């Protein structure tokens, strides 16, 4: 056997559980709000009292339709709920209502970009299901605590084909999916609260081998960083095991962020036998064409389309367009700023540069930006019309950030206007030349550095308000 | 198709039903008569018939996404064997 990572190919498929943005649960009228006191949002249906019946939430189905349309998938006009049977204390009915044979969404694609290269990842399916409750394993006198507030929360489980070949691709896919589901408003994307949870199926095979290796499934990854770390560790472990003559057994594993390692949760031998069958409590779900078309009409412009348009309309690069469409809020902000100043590229630079840096530093979201898109647009317009230099513009930006008022008011109040009166500038230049005979002499004897020193003196004397290009020109003329 | 005693024990285990060998044997015979019935039905040619997920040709009614339930955990937990801080307590489960 050839040894070394170059002789192995990694194969990854992802299953992502997205919590759908509904007010109430998928089969009951309980609230789905996060953070309520234990069991205060668990109704008779959610705790599975005898005799209760599930009634399907229309909004949950609509979210699934939105997703199916956004990834250009097949929507099964008739789809069916099944029971997935297993015993666990946080699953009061003894089965989870899910979709197996006839899911609502089949197929579809998602584009990802890794190291500048675009790839299309195919989706297998997406199906609706209910979430389970939460088991709290802290010690309750040797017992486990059960909170059923989450039981019955609507999920869309999105399954990809095993088409990713590295952890970087898996992360790019997960990020693209995260952007999309939040973009179309079907999921709040909050990973800390568990609204977007990733399971990764990972296997390795010798390069050139057609059949897949045996896979292990890493469960419940709730950050992109952990997704990357878990896959990298798992791949190293699998290759090491195989190269040492071992075998990989199909298993479910958990990632421990503290050690950076995966460990076995259960092996194939005691893997669950779920005994799926159609749920007799629920009738097949029918999607009529009018409904689908109404949902389609309500879809926003999607990230891929917007990227193409940003490049065409505002002349930004493919990379910038991808960054700017990282979220709908960011894209909307950029576009509003670009429209306000008519300078797409400059607007892109400011949004991705100064603004992003300030937001990061303050740990704020674009939606919480103290500087509005219109203000940023006006600021850029003042650079464009020569009122401000780039340096002065940064000072005005700081003013905007502190809430000191509108752009023109800040320029006025802080005296930040770039000097446009050439007579005034000429006087400063003359003064500087008179005061620095040594530099003048050095320059004339061929020392280029001395020129920069003179420019610096003029800028200083003008308190940064001189136009640097104008200063250069004037100095050159005077020194000739 | 007929079931072996091991099949019966596995089905019982999946359903969390404890059965001894004598019960397994009796159950095996009963289950096998059900399988005979299924075998008879499977003899019918259904190649041209679309499978149905439900006996009636009606579709699921949908409800609007509105919160209608109130907090009734006190009433539900009144009959629970063990409760603490609003949580149901169950024998420790570790996977």
The answer to whether A146 faces chain B, any CB pair under 8 Å, is yes
Look at residue A271 in the predicted model and tell me its pLDDT: 56
B65, A60: Cβ pair inside 8 Å? yes
Contact residues on chain A for B16, CB-CB shorter than 8 A: 87
Q: Is the pLDDT of residue A480 over 80?
A: no
Read off the tokens for A326.
């990282």
* Mean pLDDT on A76-104: 95
The answer to whether position A397 is within a domain reads yes
Say how many CB pairs under 8 Å bridge A and B: 126
The answer to whether the CB atoms of B59 and A284 lie below 8 A apart is: yes
Which of residues A266, A291, A316 is at a domain's end? A291
CA A177/CA A192 separation, integer angstroms: 17
Residues 6+ apart with CB under 8 A from A478: A429, A430, A433
- Reported pTM: 0.84
Boundary of a domain, candidates A361, A381, A413: A413
Which pLDDT score is estimated for A441?
85
In this prediction, residue B1 carries a pLDDT of 65
Q: A312 and A445 share a domain? A: no
Under an 8 A CB cutoff, do B66 and A286 touch?
A: no
Contacts with A270 from chain B: Cβ below 8 Å: none
Q: Which of A387, A413, A439 is the last residue of a domain?
A: A413
Residue-range domain boundaries for chain B:
5-42
Residues of B in contact with A42 (CB under 8 A): 73, 76
Q: Do A145 and B89 touch (CB under 8 A)?
A: yes
Contacts of B20 (CB under 8 A, 6+ apart): none
Query: Does B58 reach chain A within 8 Å, measured CB to CB?
Result: yes
A2 pLDDT above the threshold of 70: no
B90 lies within 8 A of chain A by CB? yes
Span A204-213, pLDDT tens digits: 999 999 999 9
Inspect the interface and report whether the beta carbons of A55 and B63 lie closer than 8 Å: yes
Flag residues of chain B having pLDDT under 50: none
Please indicate if any CB of chain A lies within 8 Å of the CB of B13: no
Smallest Cα–Cα separation from A260: which of A231, A229, A303? A229
| Host domain of residue A471 | 422-479
- Of the two residues A480 and A261, the one the predictor is more confident about is A261
Residues A351, A430, single domain; the answer is: no
- Quick one: pLDDT band at residue A269, thresholds 50, 70, 90? low
Query: Do A307 and A283 share a domain, yes or no?
Result: no
- Arithmetic mean of pLDDT, A71-97: 95
Q: Is B91 an interface residue toward A (CB < 8 Å)?
A: yes
ipTM: 0.90
Domain count, chain A: 3
Tokens at residue A174, please?
A: 């997960």
**CATH number of the domain that A455 lies in?**
1.10.10.410
- A296 in a structural domain: no
Give me the residue label for tokens 């670009």.
Answer: A338
**Stretch (H or E) spanning A411:** helix A407-413
């Amino acid at each position: 056997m050839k040894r070394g990572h170059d002789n192995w190919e990694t194969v990854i498929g992802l299953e992502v559980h997205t919590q759908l943005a509904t007010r109430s649960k998928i089969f009951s009228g309980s609230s789905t709000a996060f953070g309520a006191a234990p069991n205060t949002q668990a109704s008779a249906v959610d705790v599975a009292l005898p005799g209760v019946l599930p009634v399907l939430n229309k909004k949950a189905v609509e979210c699934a339709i939105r997703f199916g349309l956004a990834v250009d998938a097949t929507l099964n006009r008739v789809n069916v709920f099944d029971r997935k049977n297993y015993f666990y204390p946080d699953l009061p009915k003894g089965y989870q209502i899910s979709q197996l044979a006839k899911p609502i969404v089949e197929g579809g694609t998602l584009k990802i970009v890794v190291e500048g290269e675009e790839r299309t990842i195919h989706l297998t399916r997406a199906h609706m299901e209910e979430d389970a409750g939460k088991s709290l394993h802290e010690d309750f006198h040797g017992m486990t605590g059960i909170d059923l507030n989450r039981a019955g929360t609507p999920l869309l489980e999105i399954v990809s084909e095993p088409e990713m070949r590295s952890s970087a691709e898996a992360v790019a896919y997960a990020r693209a999916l995260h952007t999309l589901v939040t973009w179309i408003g079907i999921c709040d994307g909050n990973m800390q609260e568990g609204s977007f949870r990733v399971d990764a199926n990972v296997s390795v095979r010798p390069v050139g081998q057609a059949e897949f290796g045996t896979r292990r499934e890493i469960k419940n990854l709730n950050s992109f960083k952990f997704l990357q770390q878990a896959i990298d560790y798992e791949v190293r472990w699998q290759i090491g095991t195989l190269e040492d003559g071992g075998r990989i057994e199909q298993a479910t594993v958990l990632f421990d962020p503290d050690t950076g390692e995966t460990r076995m949760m259960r092996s194939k031998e005691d893997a669950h036998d779920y005994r799926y069958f159609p749920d007799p409590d629920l009738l097949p779900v029918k999607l009529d064409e009018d409904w689908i078309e109404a949902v389609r009409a309500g879809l926003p412009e999607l990230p891929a389309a917007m990227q193409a348009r940003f490049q065409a309309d505002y002349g930004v690069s493919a990379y910038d367009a991808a960054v700017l469409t990282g979220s709908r809020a960011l894209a909307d902000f950029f576009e509003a700023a670009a429209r306000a100043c008519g300078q797409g590229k400059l607007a892109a630079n400011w949004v991705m540069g100064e603004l992003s840096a300030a937001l990061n530093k303050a740990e704020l979201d674009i939606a919480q930006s103290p500087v509005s898109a219109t203000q940023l647009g006006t600021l850029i317009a003042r650079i464009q019309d020569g009122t401000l230099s780039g340096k002065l513009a940064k000072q005005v930006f700081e003013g905007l950030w502190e809430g000191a008022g509108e752009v023109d008011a800040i320029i006025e109040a802080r005296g930040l206007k770039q000097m446009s009166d050439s007579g005034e500038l000429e006087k400063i230049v003359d003064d500087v030349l008179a005061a620095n005979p040594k530099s003048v002499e050095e320059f004339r004897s061929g020392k280029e550095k001395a020129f920069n020193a003179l420019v610096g003196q003029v800028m200083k004397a003008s308190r940064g308000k001189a136009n640097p290009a104008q200063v250069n020109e004037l100095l050159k003329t005077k020194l000739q | 198709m007929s079931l072996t005693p091991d099949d019966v024990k596995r089905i019982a285990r999946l359903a969390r039903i404890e059965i001894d060998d004598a019960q397994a044997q009796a159950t095996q015979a009963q289950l096998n008569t059900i399988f005979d019935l299924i075998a008879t039905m499977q003899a019918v040619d259904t190649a041209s018939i679309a499978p149905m997920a439900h006996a009636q040709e009606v579709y699921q009614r949908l409800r609007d996404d509105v919160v209608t339930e109130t907090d009734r955990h006190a009433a539900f937990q009144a009959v629970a064997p063990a409760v603490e801080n609003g949580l149901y307590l169950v024998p420790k489960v570790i996977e």
